[in-house]
Amino acid sequence: MDEKRQNSLNNLISFDKMTPEKRKECNRNGGIKSGESKREKKMLREYLEIILSMEDAEGEDRYTKITKALIDKAEDGDTKAFEVVRDTLGQKPKEQVEQKQEIKVVMEDTLNEWGK
């Protein structure tokens, strides 16, 4: 890890060590940034929807052109294009993760108390 990043990490203070006022200020600033980010994403999404719905000289919107191009790529063997089409149709296979965990419970103190 480079020195600048290490210095930054050393300057971090955990929330439990901050004063209530400082925690409140950090949470407020985070909320403000989150709101700004959501507004920017919403605006970008709205612009994209407007541009994609515009028709070209032949009267075809961009949604249709992109969909046709994506299907053409999938038909030509582009597996990524196929996955996008499949996932968009809601047919994405579920990923299953197997997790095994062993828990060991030691109750010596409790057993000793009961034995008294």
Encode pLDDT of 31-87 as tens digits.
999 999 999 999 999 999 999 889 888 889 998 999 999 999 999 999 999 999 999
Compute the distance between CA of residue 46 and CA of residue 33 in angstroms, rounded to an integer: 20
Closest alpha carbon to 68 in 85, 92, 93:
85
Which neighbouring-strand residues pair with 55? 61
**Global confidence as pTM:** 0.49
For residue 105, the model assigns a pLDDT of: 74
What's the DSSP call for residue 14? -
Indicate whether 113 pLDDT > 80.
Answer: no
Q: How far apart are CA 71 and CA 73, in angstroms?
A: 5
Rounded CA separation 78/72 (Å): 9
- In this structure, what token pair is assigned to residue 98? 């197997």
Decide if 56 contacts 47 (C-beta within 8 A): no
The ranges assigned to domains in the chain are 10-53, 58-91
